[in-house]
Amino acid sequence: MNKFDQAKMLLKVKKIQKELQKKTINIIKGDGAVVVEINGEQKIKKIKLDPSLINLDDIEELELWLEEAIRDAINESQKLAASEMQPMMGALSSLGL
């Protein structure tokens, strides 16, 4: 692969990364008590809590919903990024990246 092809490949990767910044995933737990919004770069954008669905006498339940929502959001974001980058992986490995 010549330098021009390498440069084109890196530009494609940067384009995919920019697209991933714009894609969002929402994970809902506790029937809507907790909503985590994350983008394709695994950056959490928002965490929303609905006070009407949260029992303050059971904070452990809220903590569990938060843990699950954040974990699931990261997992889904990683899957999205992997699927978007999959076509590039063979070419990137030939570049040593």
Interatomic CA distance for residues 32 and 83, integer angstroms:
27
40 pLDDT exceeds 70?
A: yes
Q: The whole model's pTM is what? A: 0.81
Which CATH number among 3.30.1310.10, 2.40.430.10, 3.90.78.10, 3.30.70.360 corresponds to the domain 3-90? Answer: 3.30.1310.10
Long-range pairs for 74-78 at CB < 8 Å and ≥24 separation? 74/38, 74/42, 76/25, 76/27, 76/38, 77/25, 77/38, 77/39, 77/40, 77/41, 77/42, 78/42
Backbone phi and psi for residue 40, each to the nearest 5 degrees, phi listed first: -70, -5
Domain boundaries defined on the chain: 3-90
Task: Determine contact, residues 50/36, Cβ cutoff 8 Å.
Answer: no
State the pLDDT confidence band at 96, using cuts at 50, 70 and 90: low
CA distances from 36 to 27, 56, 78, 82 (A): 5, 19, 15, 20
Mean pLDDT (whole number) for 54-74: 97
